[in-house]
A = this chain, B = another copy of it.
Amino acid sequence: MKHVDIESRRKSILSAVVDSYVDTATPVGSRAISQRFRYTISPATIRNVMADLEEMGLIMHPHTSAGRVPTDKGYRFYVDSLLEPEHLTKEEESIINKLIHQAGNDIDYIMQNASKAISIIANVVGIVLTPRLKRSIFKHIELFNIDDSRILAVIVTTSGFIKNSIMDIEEGITKQELAHITEFLNSELEGISLGEIKSYLTRKLLEERDSFYTFLKRATDILSIPGLFRADDHLYFEGAACIMSHPEFTDIRKAKLFLRACEDKKGLLNLLNEDMERDGIKIHIGKENVDSEMQDCSVVTCNYKINGTIVSAIAAIGPTRMEYGKVISVLKYISHELGKELENLG
């Protein structure tokens, strides 16, 4: 095996280091790598290559007489250039299907099971975010008086979600007027995403000058019911206990930091909201995370769609030493199945 392309060997050795470290959680020595290559390359050669990789910042030494450990940069190179697409086994797929498609009609339960599925298959903490209302498309609204001083508004979206809210009103509204407004809104707002409704109506309001203005104003006011368009920011979260088996958490302080990252709802929400803009898998490794709580973990996210429209995202969070290949394939699979299940429900 002389005169092998030096670059490709570096790659395969980095790959071996990452694989072995992900597998065993102990620093990887030159002997172990040599063994992986069935001794076609000697430990000494591997030591030289490893020294190069270390100089490039891809792997590091915990101390002189220890093996090598991938750095964040090393993992990054690995996932970008070395990782080969993986497939779930039939058994894994059937576990996921059972959890997602046999959870009944309860969205809450489906979401919970989806996050459990991520956790079980990939040995990480699984996270599922409820569909973003803002991205849903308006289909239907109903308004009615529940008593003299309050109106109930119910909006149904094309993806079958229902959002409602109660509003106090100072001046009474007649049934006819309410029906009139309902009819108007239903014809006017069809096909608009909930996120755009408000700006759409204010724009419209600016154009109007005549008697219609008062009517439109009234309709707009009703739609500003507090909470009607509020994001339904629920994060489902599963698998904290099982992840404690990872050897990195024998140090309880690290476990605590990890749990803190998981509980950092704001940080996760920001990340998911941003990531879901683009389609597909997004990976954030260790220090790459802007959020300081997460700089010791890796977060992998994937959007999911209902009828072709991106509505929200799912994620996995675990130690930087995670099985990226498996995590990616699980998220891809689950995002697809979850979307399908929600479509059937809508």
Contacts and interface: CB of A to CB of B under 8 A. Distances in A.
A154 B160 contact: no
Interface in A94-151: 104-106, 108, 112, 139-140, 142, 144, 146
A263 interface: yes
A105 B227 contact: yes
Interface stretch (A7-15, A196-204, A245-253, A331-339): A245-253
A189 interface: no
B164 A226 contact: no
A312 to B, nearest CB: 16
A112 B166 CA distance: 21
A181 to B, nearest CB: 15
Interface string A241-265: 1001100011010011101101101
Interface residues of A, number: 41
B156 A154 contact: no
A4 B249 CA distance: 51
Interface stretch (A51-59, A212-220, A228-236, A320-328): A228-236
B227 A241 contact: no
Given A156-B146, A166-B156, A232-B108, A241 B259 contact: yes
Given A154-B154, A164-B164, A233 B108 contact: yes
Nearest to A251: B252
B256 A226 contact: no
A146 B140 contact: yes
A152 interface: yes
* A-B CB proximity, top 5 nearest: A241-B259, A244-B256, A241-B260, A140-B146, A162-B164
Interface of A: 104-106, 108, 112, 139-140, 142, 144, 146, 152, 154, 156, 160, 162, 164-166, 226-227, 230, 232-234, 238-241, 244-245, 249-250, 252, 255-257, 259-260, 262-263, 265
